[in-house]
């Protein structure tokens, strides 16, 4: 219990402020008192309410579902993508993880392919363009097929589901010293490569998505494994190996 009240702590925030993509950014310091039961994003809500009451510009940050599903809450907190807790998105992080009087540095994801829009908001539309390049399957429209119409081995189904858990948050890019997007792209390629439904576009998918990734300016993987550590869904780097195999397979089949 803190001296400020039951279950309340007072923290010092060092928040990255940047008026726009071309502006020069800087850290600004704020102090806020908040309940330890609050989520990290709720703490930022409290900060913004105080700023607006003082007639100052609120801090821009991304959020949507606040349930660890959408991947929008892309923040680097004290040097960690999504904060210090493993397998946790920023919106799932709670203030009880911090100590009374602690300093917290908050900044946007840092990557050339994720340009800052404003303050803590970055443009992650590069992921959308990579997904559009091949992250889909051919399917007839109409009623849904019977769940057991296409037999799939249990191991393959489970591994595909693990890859499909990727929420496209970009923490892998923020954590990688090369700003590589290979874990994200690998998850999207792998989930479909493991299933028969992904067969028709299999070769074209690997080539198109890897080429789109490269054209967006992401770095290359050099096996630091920081992406796996930062991923809130604990997606394995083993999927990168499958992506590389899929790409080599597609290259061989097209020659």
Confidence band, pLDDT 50/70/90 cuts, at residue 255: low
Element (H, E) at 86: none
Element (H, E) at 81: strand 80-81
Q: What pLDDT, on a 0 to 100 scale, did the predictor assign at position 5? A: 57
For residue 255, count other CB atoms closer than 10 A to its CB: 4
pTM metric for this prediction: 0.91
Q: Which domains does the chain have, with CATH numbers?
A: 8-118 (3.10.20.30), 125-138+152-253 (1.10.1060.10)
Confidence band, pLDDT 50/70/90 cuts, at residue 101: very high
Is the confidence at residue 162, as pLDDT, over 70? yes
For residue 28, count other CB atoms closer than 10 A to its CB: 13
Is the confidence at residue 130, as pLDDT, over 60? yes
Q: What pLDDT, on a 0 to 100 scale, did the predictor assign at position 157? A: 92
Q: What pLDDT, on a 0 to 100 scale, did the predictor assign at position 147? A: 67
Q: What pLDDT, on a 0 to 100 scale, did the predictor assign at position 150? A: 80
Q: What pLDDT, on a 0 to 100 scale, did the predictor assign at position 140? A: 72
Residue 58 and residue 251: Cα distance in Å, rounded? Answer: 50
Is the confidence at residue 146, as pLDDT, over 50? yes
- 173-208: pLDDT as tens digits: 999 999 999 999 999 999 999 999 899 899 999 999
For residue 127, count other CB atoms closer than 10 A to its CB: 26
Is the confidence at residue 2, as pLDDT, over 80? no
Q: What pLDDT, on a 0 to 100 scale, did the predictor assign at position 37? A: 96
Percent of the chain at pLDDT > 70 equals 95
Percent of the chain at pLDDT > 90 equals 87
Q: What is the CA radius of gyration of the chain?
A: 21
Is the confidence at residue 56, as pLDDT, over 80? yes
Backbone angles phi, psi at 63, to 5 degrees: -165, 160
Please list the helix, strand and coil fractions of the chain in percent, rounded to the nearest 5, in that order. Answer: 40, 15, 45
Is the confidence at residue 142, as pLDDT, over 80? no
Residue 185 and residue 222: Cα distance in Å, rounded? Answer: 15
Contacts 24+ apart (CB under 8 A), 67-70: 67/91, 67/92, 68/92, 68/167, 68/232, 69/167, 70/167
Is the confidence at residue 169, as pLDDT, over 50? yes
Residue 60 and residue 110: Cα distance in Å, rounded? Answer: 16
Is the confidence at residue 254, as pLDDT, over 70? no
Per-chain mean pLDDT for the chain: 94
CA atoms within 13 A on the CB side of 75: 30
Is the confidence at residue 1, as pLDDT, over 60? no
Q: Which residue has the tokens 């100590």?
A: 99
């Amino acid at each position: 219990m803190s001296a400020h009240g039951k279950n309340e702590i007072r923290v010092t925030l060092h928040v990255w402020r940047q008026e726009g993509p071309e502006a020069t950014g800087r850290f600004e310091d704020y102090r806020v008192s908040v309940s330890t039961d609050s989520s990290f994003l709720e703490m930022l809500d409290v900060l913004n309410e105080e700023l607006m009451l003082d007639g100052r510009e609120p801090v821009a940050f991304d959020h949507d579902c606040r349930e660890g599903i959408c991947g929008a809450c892309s923040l680097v907190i004290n040097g960690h993508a999504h904060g210090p807790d493993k397998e946790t998105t920023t919106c799932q992080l709670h203030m009880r993880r911090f100590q009374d009087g602690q300093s917290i540095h908050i900044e946007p994801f840092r990557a050339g392919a994720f340009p800052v829009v404003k303050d803590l908001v970055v443009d992650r539309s590069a992921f959308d363009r990579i997904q559009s390049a091949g992250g889909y399957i051919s399917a007839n429209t109409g009623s849904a097929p019977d769940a057991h119409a296409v037999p799939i081995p249990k191991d393959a189904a489970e591994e595909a589901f693990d890859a499909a858990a990727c929420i496209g948050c970009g923490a892998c890019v923020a954590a990688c010293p090369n700003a590589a997007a290979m874990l994200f792209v690998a998850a999207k390629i792998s989930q479909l490569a493991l299933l028969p439904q992904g067969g028709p576009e299999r070769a074209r998918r690997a080539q198109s998505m890897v080429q789109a990734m490269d054209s967006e300016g992401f770095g290359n993987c050099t096996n630091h494994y920081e992406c796996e550590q930062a991923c809130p869904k604990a997606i394995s780097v083993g999927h990168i190996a499958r992506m590389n195999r899929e790409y080599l397979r597609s290259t061989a089949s097209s020659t």
